[in-house]
Chain A
Amino acid sequence: MYGNAYIDPNEKANAMIAGEDPIKLAEFEARIARGEKIEPKDWMPKEYRKQLIRMIEQHGHSEIIGALPEGTWITRAPGFKRKLALMAKVQDEVGHAQLLYSAAETLGKSREDMINDLITGKSKYSNVFNYPAYTWADACIIAWLIDAGAIINQVANAKGSYGPYCRALDRICTEESFHLKYGHDNVVTLATGTPTQRKMVQEALTRWWPPIMHFFGPSDKISSHTEILMRWKVKMASNDDMRQQFLNMYVPKIWDLGLELPDANLKKVEDTNSKLGVKWEYTEPDWDEFKRVINGGGPCNAERLAVRRMAEEKGRWVRAALLRKDEKYVTPLA
């Protein structure tokens, strides 16, 4: 029955599937190839579980931490309507974290462990949130362009193979469309406003452009690892493809407002090989800066985690008071 279906663990390309039952692995891969979803109690390769937990958990952390730079502006957003809208957006983002943590949890990592890994700095979150929102215009640029980037990523991942993650993302994507519209409206208001407002939004855009270019991460290494993650529909698009999609959708909209981007090499060229039919050329962002910030060296890393820890600690006595002795945790179903 096994024939030569043996998986040689010493073969470098097999590192991700070493030790897996070849028959179960083949059934699992066939299910994904047929477009069926994987559900929590299904058999899955260890590496599939591990990569998904890491990915969904980090996505959850990004929603929680992302609420901080935007939350900064709730009390000072210009006008009552914008205060309400920003409050609703921030509330949505925190809700997204809940949905994502719940999806990650079905894979066997407890919410307590995820939060612990966030507040000790063991888990990462989206690097963009290690930068501050200096002015109201920064909050507007975040709501428009960072959410735009997030949508591209989330729409791609919603077609992935893990059922609970896809369901969470479908729900999230409907709310994101409001964030994008809200952000765009705010940027347009500033860009079509007084010279001071225009200057303010231009400066914010210039500040945020490098983190935006970092947003999708460095080019993927062409490796068997990436190839397997794509076959398993864990990774749905390459970082470069998502960046191209973002540039193609939003650079024209930015230029349309007469705003400038701080990259003289940014331009669109024909490219018959690409899915888009065009390719955006740009100056490669500073990836050393990216690594420095992701490893703790950014302007706000320390603040973000300290605030998170403070919030956990302040809420602790309330949760302890509500906890009943007969409660027993089991992994959620779906």
Chain B
Amino acid sequence: MINSLDPRIAREKINEDNNIAPLTEMDQFETYEVFHQKKRGDQHVHAGIVHAPNAEMALLFAKEQYGRRGLSVNIWVVKTNNVFASDYDDADIFETVPEKQYREAGGYKVMDKINKYKKENKV
């Protein structure tokens, strides 16, 4: 019998060898990805995950774990299972090649043209 300094534990009269059956698969439920908005006007950003049996409890746990101390004004939860993600191995799909300058602001050098025109025409 455990003789604890903690009165709450002493009252429980627990045995030291209170072996229990191991937790089985799904005991801790599936996971939800948590997105929170820090203040109105901001994007919701990914904060982490929670384990929960349903969306309502996922929201509750998300608030406890990620919305403590006024860090959030709004929270979304999405089942991990419902998220489709790109692969880090395919990161090259995000690479921009020099030929794609036409879609960058820096790809348009009007001042060069203006200066050339001014010089040639003595404007």
Contacts and interface: CB of A to CB of B under 8 A. Distances in A.
**Do A and B form a real pair?**
yes
B26 A327 contact: yes
A39 B88 contact: yes
A58 interface: no
Contacts of B2: 302-303, 306-307
Given A99-B65, A112-B27, A328-B30, A134 B80 contact: no
Q: Which size class do B's interface residues fall under?
A: 35 or more
A332 B33 contact: yes
Nearest to A138: B5
Contact of B5 (A72, A95, A328, A330): A72
Contacts of B87: 41
Contacts of B81: 328, 330
Interface of B: 2, 4-9, 12, 14-16, 18-20, 22-31, 33, 46, 48-51, 53-54, 57, 61, 64-66, 68-69, 80-81, 83, 85, 87-89
22 contacts: A68-B6, A72-B5, A95-B65, A98-B65, A102-B31, A111-B28, A115-B28, A302-B2, A303-B2, A303-B4, A306-B14, A306-B15, A312-B20, A313-B20, A316-B27, A319-B28, A322-B54, A323-B53, A328-B81, A330-B31, A332-B49, A332-B80
Interface of A: 39, 41-42, 68, 71-72, 75, 92, 95, 98-99, 102, 105, 110-112, 115-116, 119-120, 132-134, 167-168, 171, 175, 302-303, 306-307, 309-310, 312-313, 316, 319, 322-324, 327-334
